[in-house]
Every structure is written in C-alpha cells, then in structure tokens.
Amino acid sequence: MSALLLLFSVACVGDPDNNKDSEGPIDSAEPKPTEACGYTPMADLDPAENVVEVEVVASQFAWDPGTGVPLEAGMAFNEVVPGPLLEAKLGDTVIVHYANNTDMDTSLHWHGLRVTPEMDGIQQMMGDPVEPGESFTYEFTVIDSGFYWFHTHMDTATTIEAGLYAPILLHAPDERAPDCDMPVVLDDVLLDEGSLQIAPPDTDMMQLMGRLGNVLMANGRSDRRVSWRRGQTTLLRLVNASNARYWDLFLEGHSLQIVGTDGGFLEEPYTVDHLVMAPGERYMVVVKAEGDPGGEYRLMNRRFQLHEEGGDMIEPDPMGDGENPVMTFVYDRTEVNGTAWVQPTPDVPAWGAAVENLGHHWVLDEDMMGGTVTIDGQAWPDVPMVDVAMGVDTTFEVENKSEMHHPFHIHGNRFQVVDVGGAQVPEGQGWKDTFDIPPRTTVKLVSNLDNPGEWMYHCHILEHADDGMAGMMTVME
C-alpha cells in the first residue's frame, strides 16, 4: 500500500473566519499545511484473511468544510467527512455493523455494488428503515473490484448534503500499487449568507433544478493541499458525491489518463485534458507528477451547464461562470524515480453496440411550470414496474425529453454504454452504473443482468430522486 495519511480518519480543524454571502462562491481560509498523498482505511475488526468487518456510526456532527465555521446541521459517518474508507479485495466477505445515532430514519446504499436486494439499502427491500438509536448489519461478498461509495438512501438530498457519504476501494488481484493511491470525494455544499451554515431547503425551483453549492470540497474541505514529488505516479480515484453539480475538472499543467470508470479498470486507458463527472459517477485517473519542484498546481472545476444551450431555463450557479479551485498539489524540492503505471487486467463488457433484445425504453421528462419530474410519465411510487429476464444480453434505452441533463443510476446490475444520441461509443469502455443522459438525447445501454431481484433506478440529482424521479425493475431468474 502507498504512504498512509489521516485523510479519512481525522476530524477537520477550524480555520480563520471567512464571511462571504451565498450569492457567490465562499472562499476558503488561508492555505493549510500540505498532507501526504495516500489514504487510511477503516479498522478491520476480523483478523481472517478474507473477511473485512467494520463499524459505521452515523451521527450529528459539526464539521468544518474549510471556512473555519463548523456546520451545526452536519452529519458524519464515524465523525469524519467524508466517512472513512472501506477497503477490501475481490472475494472478501464484508460485514458492516451500522448504528444510526442521527435523529432521522436512515439506510446505507452500496452505490454500484452487486449485492443482494435485501442489502442494497432501499426501504422497499430491507423492510423497516434503521430508526434513530437502532442498528443493522449489512453483509455481502465482493464480486467486483473498482472504486465505489456508500451513502444514505433516505432523505438523500438532506443527509448527503449534511455529510453522510464515504468511499469504497475494492482491489483486483493483479493491481500493482502506484507511488500514491488517493481516493478523492468531490462535493459541494450550499452555505447561508452570513452564518456560513448549511442553507435551508429553498424554493420549488431548487427542487426542480437541483441544489448547487457555493463551496467546492475535496475530501470534505475547500482548502485541501497535498504534497507531491516530481516523478511519482498518482492514481486519483474520483467520485462525485454532489447533490446536483456536474464537475468539469482539469489539473493545471498536467494531463489526465483515464484508466477506469464506475465498475473497474478499462481495457485501454485514454488521455484527456479535462473530465466531466455526473453526480454518482466515478473515474480512476493516473497523473504523472511532472511539475516544477516547489510549484503548486490546482485541480480546477469549470462551470457545467445543466440545461441545453438556448433553452428556456435561466440557470444561476452560486460558483459563478468561471473556473474555481478544488484542491492543490504542492511539489516538494525532491525528485523520485517513480513507478510506471501498469494497467490491471480488465473485466470489460463484450458489447460494442446495442443488441436486438430490448428490455425497456425509459422516458425522462420534467414539467417546468408544474415543477415535477417523471419517468415514463409518472412519479414514484406510480412508475410502472419493469420486468426483464436474467442472463440475457439486453439493450435498454433511456430517452431524455427534457432540456436538462439527468444522471441515471441503476442499482444491482452493471451496464455498458454503447450509443449516445445515435453515435456509437468506442469499444473497450468499462462497466457503468451511473450514466449522463444529455438533454433531448437517447442513450443505449447493454447488460446481461446477472443479479436477480427487485432493483431501484433513479435520477442521481438527489432533489429529483426525492421528488419521485425513480422506479423499480425486477430481474427475473
């Protein structure tokens, strides 16, 4: 394992006062000292080689997003934001003893993992939610490697905004450790003017548009600074935990080599100068540290327009229309002979195009005047059940009739995106469970649906999911 740090295991410390209003981005305080590049996982309570047993406690917790003012309405897993990293490997049995010490009903969803339906964290399958003061034990076998995350799945727009989310790292057998392996959870939070506290739920317009924050955070802080050495190879494991924000990322002075997506590594990496991530998506990105010793290079975010250009919606973003820093990589004065990146053997889909068997054609829509979002013309719980057969190569179509991007997440099974708006996606793409559906566009997915049961699907703009843009699919044996 690469060098460890307390990135996921130490509560943030308050910084000097900052007092900007919420009509624009809220600046962080003076830069804090740099941290080592790496991660620290949750403590494994079971010494057995193939068992990972951990404790996760959700509680009210006032955490500091980097403004110097703790959030009184904050929540956290194990009193850190993001929650501590859950680490395991292919074939492990994972046991999570979950305690709910918040004042709300909660459940945990293992975003992207092919668990059994009763472990998936949706109330429809697990029965009663985990009430305040109660506990529940989740148990599943790791059948997929890759980078995932877990989060609450009740009142998600409120609880995830408050801080209840954490990363999951599941290793493949032939992975070779880079010089630095660094999970990075991206999030934004909307703070109220003056108080710098989490802003209360706003108007119906926020419910329709999604909640965009005025503080951008990497691993729970707006002032994250990480130490690098010239020559080292870093694997950044990125997840977008935002309520509604699409991130458009670039790293000053460096290119980004995409080596994996939601469900694991790709067959062939590719290089980009910027990366767009929808809410719920993950990417694994290799960066070769080639900056100047003593130099500072910022991971930046560019404005992403959620609505189609020329549409009817005026879309204000509290971060403004420019570019904003997310975190900073600081080179020390030394240079190392870094480890060359070796791409692990992927478990990639065989499809390069849609197959004949059509499982379902979903239609996403929204009524701007009525303030509603729908799937197949209905809102949860009135969306009709989708029934499909297990073990059959199946195409799904997701048609977005609205003028807004929607990140579409399907629980319990994995898919390959093969066509976006009539343009075939290049072969060799990896597994996905969360997909951007652009405005006025149909996206085609293929899967053989090898995990039976009843599974939820929904828009991962959390306000939309809470407002009924969700449904259920039965995969029948």
Please give the structure tokens belonging to residue 330: 């600081």
401 and 257 inside one domain:
no
For the chain, percent helix, then strand, then coil, each to nearest 5? 5, 45, 50
Alpha helices in 305-356 (DSSP H): none
Residue 362 tokens read as 């979903």
Question: Are residue 450 and residue 319 in the same domain, yes or no?
Answer: no
Q: Tell me the C-alpha to C-alpha distance, in Å, between residue 180 and each of 67, 88, 289.
A: 28, 18, 11
| pLDDT score, position 66 | 96
More confident residue, 70 or 27: 70
pLDDT for res 372: 86
pLDDT band for 463, please (50, 70, 90 cuts).
Answer: very high
Please check whether residue 367 is in contact with residue 361, taking contact to mean a CB–CB distance below 8 angstroms. no
pLDDT score for 8 = 31
Q: 334-388 pLDDT, tens per residue?
A: 999 999 999 998 888 888 899 999 999 999 998 877 778 999 999 999 999 999 9
Written as six digits, the tokens of 468 are 């009924």
Same domain, 331 and 419: no
> What per-residue confidence (pLDDT) applies to 124?
54
The answer on 302 and 249 residing in a single domain is yes
The CATH number of residue 372's host domain is 2.60.40.420
Say what the pLDDT of residue 312 is. 57
- Identify the pLDDT of residue 347: 83
158 and 277 within one domain: yes
Strand locations in 12-92, DSSP E? 51-60, 75-77, 86-89
258 and 196 in a common domain: yes
- Residue 417 resides in a domain: yes
Look at the chain and report how many structural domains it folds into. Answer: 2
Range of the domain at 409: 358-476
Query: Is 117 a domain residue?
Result: yes
Model confidence pLDDT, tens digit, residues 414-455? 999 999 999 998 765 899 999 999 999 999 999 999 999 999
> What percent of the chain clears pLDDT 70, i.e. is strictly above it?
91
* 3-class SS letters over 347-381: CCCCCCCCCCCEEEEEEEEEECCCCEEEECCECCC
Distances (CA, A) of 383 to 365, 374, 375, 446, 458: 13, 8, 7, 22, 11
Q: Are 63 and 19 in contact (CB under 8 A)?
A: no
Q: Is residue 11 part of a domain?
A: no
